[in-house]
Amino acid sequence: MKSLWSVSLVTLLFCGCVSIKPSHLTPYNEVMSDAPNVTQYKPPANSHLFKATLDIRKHHLTGLLIIKSMDTLIKTQALQQVTTLAPSKTGSGGTPGRYRFVFMNEVGMTFFDLEVKADSFKVVSCFSSLNKKALMKILETDFRMLTWTGSPESTRIYRQEKTNNIIVSGNAGKYKTWRTYSPPGDTLYSISAKSTIADPVIISFSKYTKGFPGNIIIENPFIGMKLSLRKLTR
Amino acid sequence: MPCKTAFFSSPILQGITARFKTPVKCRMAVVVCIWLMVSLTPSGSVAQNKPMDAGSIVSLKSHVKEVAQVTRTISCDFSQEKEMDMIAEKVISSGKFYLKKEKMLRWEYLKPFSYIIVIRNDQISIRDENKVNQFNIQSNKIFLEINRIILGSIQGTLLADEQNFKADFFENPTSWVVKMKALTPKLKESLSEIVIYFDRKDYTVSRLEMNEPGGDRTRISFSAKIVNQPIADEKFVVR
């Protein structure tokens, strides 16, 4: 793993920052405050179980990922939030409440157990070979973005020329974010976000069933990490 | 006002304590409830593990070794339960297990996902959904360890692994229970203890518990065991 981080550092020096901003955008002036029933990933009210595959360069781990909401009170508030694509100056929301992310192999051994709260991030347990500060920082960004709800600050809306998709940019806390919606604005396709040059992330959602994505892919282009999730029915 | 302390935070106790107006009355009610629960629990409902004497330990080891020696094949169902007390969450999976001597094992998860691990000699093949990966077991330390622990538990060889585990022996009306504490730092990182339950009737493994340092545990129960019936080599090929 040491060599992995050395390679990452060299990549940083040679490649500079990775762009995750969607390309070919033109400002979109229509106000979309009434986008009803937007289909998008919402953090779990209780817990979600996923079949997971984690690839970090040549390393390949498979197993199960549980995303669990740990705070009933804030969870209820998060569920009541209405998602709109309306531009907002003030912004609202954030990581609602407390979430645990437990990644284990199929046989049951825990790879990592992480806690994400609005104002903190905690490594509850982690295999020593994975427990590197830089990797944990990146996972924090990934999971914070996955559980983030509400309207970003200083939002701007664009149309993407080639796809006609709607892109909403804005600031979510320290993160600059771009959300890509379907042309009618009713389905969230992806979230791109970053706070530093080292933690850019692209989260893609697909195969929605009853408003929930069956597949989620989290990519961190800077370190070449990809976490693929497929929702399991328990 | 109902009394509120951390001790009273369980939902059942909260229900009881909410009915009492003062902390003193509330505590008394809880003490009475606990006493009632303890005294009304049938003695046979919880299997009590009592330590085994030296003679029984020698006898168990010898029987387990004997059974492992005459066992050529095992096929059975398994159900696996990963318990995470800290987040009050359980992940339950189930499937089929096949073992054929000398070094052939098929560990097939059927629910809630499809995942097959086949170990044949030192070669591991994994079919994860529709994707097949093959590699040498020596190149993957995690699988090497899992293979050693699971096969060692089922074949009884783990009982003799005094370098990596300290074994304590217990018994209850249905099982011989061996609690194996990990000794090496590397092993302790992922597993603090393995508990193996041997069926008193036939000395085969009926349950396996893997306890992690953080308090999580995985319990694998084996059922519908069929021993020494032919299993085709084809079963240990993943395509």
The C-alpha of A122 sits at a distance from chain B's nearest C-alpha, in angstroms, of 14
Q: Which among B174, B225, B179, B223 has a CA at the least distance from the CA of B200? A: B174
Sketch the domain layout of chain B as residue ranges: 6-40, 50-236
CB spacing of A127 vs B190 below 8 angstroms: yes
**What domains can be seen in chain A, in order of their start residue?**
2-231 (2.50.20)
CB spacing of B93 vs A106 below 8 angstroms: yes
**Is the Cβ–Cβ distance between B93 and B109 less than 8 Å?**
yes
How does pLDDT run across A113-156, given as a tens digit for each residue?
999 988 899 999 998 888 999 999 999 999 999 988 767 788 88
Strand partners, A190: A180, A204
Q: Taking residues B1-8, what's their average pLDDT? A: 38
Q: Which of A5-14, A70-79, B69-78 has the highest mean pLDDT?
A: B69-78
Q: Which residues of A touch B190 (CB under 8 A)?
A: 109-110, 127
* Residue A5, pLDDT score: 53
DSSP E strands in chain A: the ranges are 25-27, 47-56, 59-69, 99-104, 110-116, 121-126, 153-160, 166-172, 175-181, 188-194, 201-209, 212-220, 225-231
The C-alpha of A118 sits at a distance from chain B's nearest C-alpha, in angstroms, of 18
**Exposed/middle/buried for A179, CB within 10 Å: 0-12, 13-18, 19+?**
buried
Q: Which two tokens stand for residue A137?
A: 């920082």
Q: Which of A45-49, A88-92, A116-120 has the lowest mean pLDDT?
A: A88-92
The total number of residues written for chain B in this structure: 239
* pLDDT exceeds cutoff 70 at B44: no
**Cα–Cα distance for residue pair B15/B17, rounded to 1 Å:** 6
Q: Taking residues B191-209, what's their average pLDDT? A: 93
Interface membership of B51 toward A (CB under 8 Å): no
**Cα–Cα distance for residue pair B155/B68, rounded to 1 Å:** 5
**Is the Cβ–Cβ distance between B94 and B88 less than 8 Å?**
no
Q: E strand or H helix at B127, and its extent?
A: strand B123-128
CB spacing of A64 vs B117 below 8 angstroms: no
Q: Which among B113, B210, B141 has a CA at the least distance from the CA of A65? A: B113
| ipTM of the complex model | 0.74
Interface membership of A92 toward B (CB under 8 Å): no
* Residue A4, pLDDT score: 52
* Residue A63, pLDDT score: 94
Chain B residues 195-224 within an 8 A CB cutoff of chain A:
210, 212-214, 216, 218, 220
pLDDT band at B88 (very low <50, low <70, confident <90, very high): confident
Interface membership of B89 toward A (CB under 8 Å): yes
Which residue of B lies nearest to A59 if distances are taken between CA atoms? Answer: B140
Q: Which two tokens stand for residue B35?
A: 């006493």
Interface membership of A129 toward B (CB under 8 Å): no
CATH topology of domain B50-236: outer membrane lipoprotein receptor (LolB), chain A (2.50.20)
* Residue B42, pLDDT score: 41
The C-alpha of B201 sits at a distance from chain A's nearest C-alpha, in angstroms, of 27
